[in-house]
Structure 1
């Protein structure tokens, strides 16, 4: 699934920032966001993990209003099929593909948080890219992508918690907290769990 919005002004030099949310949880999707910064950026863009939930939510709304962006979601069953690393690379590729299709020209560079890019790992990847360790705290476009991806995934997990209330996803967002692990022991995995992850696979055997 890919969703996007195109609201920023065109620019001759185009930089896309990319980040993901949800590599570590036991349940739910991995989400990647791609962003081209627009005008009127809010202050305080940076690593989404270092922001309060209230501030991150406010920045998410402001960024989606002034930037071009796209979000791609790879669900748990596809993560199990691909593995989490490849699923993350696919999510990044899909959101960049969708955003690039909206731009006035090809991006000059895609900046990706981390130490690896989808180049030569995903057949659709065709843009110049550079990985930056800690990029969400260095490059504003990556920081913006970090915020949008995190907020998008959190909303998905809060909604999923309404269908599967025993696991506390509205609080733990699918991570392996004590509450989540106890619910796995008592109730077993759901279709939204990543069955290829060891704690979920072990719970399936109980």
Structure 2
């Protein structure tokens, strides 16, 4: 099966923006979205769905993408996730990522089955990170950005294994949650965290 290409970007008015997020499933930390406009030429080789890449490959590709592409990063923090729910917080992060580009998009291609409620012409593409090059690039940038944040937070809040699990509900993380209790970076609206709060 071939990897992502620019076929789904063809025929749309420029600039075409690819958008994807990282961090919907973890128990802690923000949800991060990236918006990417790839140049016509000099696109780095090896761009693929971020989940198919090693951490080292993602880090290298993220640097190479950011060196040649226009990139916007948007986030929704833990308080916003708990107040809005993860779906609406993800839409907010995507809105912020596109706004951070500082340019009006001709078309926004969003990974998933829905787009934020915005004024931009846009279309949702299920499995877009495996099919569309600009969305795949956004998936790499978003994941790398969020992973770096979680590694930095791990140094601040040791014991939960965030440098390894990136905030997902691994056995190590869940056991630490029960033992150490939640941090300010945990999502209180997520069941394992809510249970740990009640146990305090």
TM-score when normalising by structure 2: 0.91
In the alignment, structure 1 segments of 5+ residues that lack a partner are 1-11, 120-124
Which stretch has the larger CA shift, 138-147 or 12-21? 12-21
Question: Contact 2:111/2:124 (CA < 8 Å) preserved in 1?
Answer: yes
Deviations along 1:84-115, one digit per CA (max 9) or x if unpaired, are: 0000000001111121x2x3xx3221000000
Give the alignment of 1:190-201 within 5 angstroms.
190-201=183-194
Give the alignment of 1:124-203 within 5 angstroms.
125-203=118-196
Establish whether residue 24 from structure 1 lines up as the match of residue 30 from structure 2: no
For 1:57 and 1:98, the matched residues in 2 are separated by: 21
- Secondary structure of residue in 2 paired with 1:35: strand
In the alignment, structure 2 segments of 5+ residues that lack a partner are 1-12
- Secondary structure of residue in 1 paired with 2:67: helix
| Match of residue 114, structure 2, among 116, 122, 128 | 116
Establish whether residue 79 from structure 1 lines up as the match of residue 81 from structure 2: yes
Aligned CA RMSD, in angstroms, stands at: 0.9
Establish whether residue 55 from structure 1 lines up as the match of residue 48 from structure 2: no
CA-CA distance at 1:44 after TM superposition: 1.4
For 1:180 and 1:88, the matched residues in 2 are separated by: 23
For 1:148 and 1:139, the matched residues in 2 are separated by: 14
2:198 corresponds to which residue?
Answer: 205
For 2:76 and 2:142, the matched residues in 1 are separated by: 12
CA-CA distance at 1:28 after TM superposition: 0.5
Instruction: Give the 4+ runs in structure 1 shifted more than 4 A.
Output: none
Deviations along 1:14-70, one digit per CA (max 9) or x if unpaired, are: 100000000000010100000000231111111100001111111000000000001
Deviations along 1:108-154, one digit per CA (max 9) or x if unpaired, are: 210000001102xxxxx210110001101111100000000000000
CA-CA distance at 1:198 after TM superposition: 0.5
